[in-house]
Homo-oligomer: A and B are copies of this chain.
Amino acid sequence: MSAKQTTTSAAFLATLKRDLLIAIKKKNDIVNPFMFFIIVVSLFPIGISPESDRLREIAAGVIWISVLLASMLSMDNLYRSDYEDGSLEQLLLSPHPLFFLVLAKNISHWLVSGLPVVLVSPLLAYMLNLPAQAYGTLILTLLLGTPIMSLIGSIAVALTVGLGSRGLILAVITLPMSVPVLIFGTLAVQSTLNSLSPLGYLSLMLVMLSVAISLAPLASAAALRISVN
């Protein structure tokens, strides 16, 4: 029996592959966060002002807030369908540390819903007239910030996986927690615009990301065990 047992890394890879496969088959999981992001961002020129000077000032903030909302809403399905079809129980009964399996699910979720949003953000930054010198910083902050959001959101989703309607409760739990990310993300862009170095903020976000990667999956795993009870 021991000869046939898997290593944890194999289980990690299998879980990652499976979640990506499901996302590819469902398509909506990939397209919707992306569409939501674009639609929400394009509400701002309509609601606030279509003048390019005004837009420039609010561009970074608007993009960041929309990313926050999109990534929060896309969390909804992270564990839900697994919970409903019983796959989550199988995950919990695996002999491997739940930490890594949860991490695999989080990574796959970010690849599917966070990354496309980050990739399309320069286009929207252009539409909102963000000065070109800030693109690099914006993308970097988003690259660091969206995984943090996914990791935090994962805890909230894991806590509420058994609930019927959760859209809003998720928001009420995760949005306050994402304030620090929002602050550093926008500050970094702002300081680039003021020709200052954003490195300080970026490294702070990096620290936050590493803390989140090492702690959040633990909390998610505990939350899943609580919810499946």
By a beta-carbon cutoff of 8 Å, the part of chain A in contact with chain B is: 28, 32-33, 35-36, 39-40, 43-44, 46-49, 54, 57-58, 60-62, 64-65, 68-70, 73-74, 76-77, 80-81, 84, 164-165, 167-169, 171-172, 175-176, 179, 182-183, 186
Contacts and interface: CB of A to CB of B under 8 A. Distances in A.
Contact of A164 (B44, B57, B70, B81): B81
Given A57-B49, A73-B168, A182 B43 contact: yes
B36 A62 contact: no
Nearest to A175: B39
A33 B64 contact: no
A47 B182 contact: yes
A65 B168 CA distance: 16
B168 A74 contact: yes
Given A169-B28, A171-B39, A84 B164 contact: yes
Number of copies: 2
Contact of A61 (B49, B61, B164, B179): B49
A36 to B, nearest CB: 5
A143 to B, nearest CB: 18
B172 A32 contact: yes
Closest 5 CB pairs of A and B: A48-B61, A47-B61, A32-B168, A77-B165, A76-B167
Given A46-B182, A73-B171, A74-B168, 10 more contacts: A33-B168, A35-B172, A39-B175, A43-B68, A44-B65, A48-B62, A48-B186, A58-B58, A74-B167, A76-B165
21 contacts: A32-B168, A35-B168, A35-B172, A36-B172, A39-B171, A39-B175, A40-B69, A46-B182, A47-B60, A47-B64, A47-B182, A47-B186, A48-B62, A49-B58, A49-B61, A54-B57, A73-B73, A73-B168, A74-B167, A74-B168, A81-B165
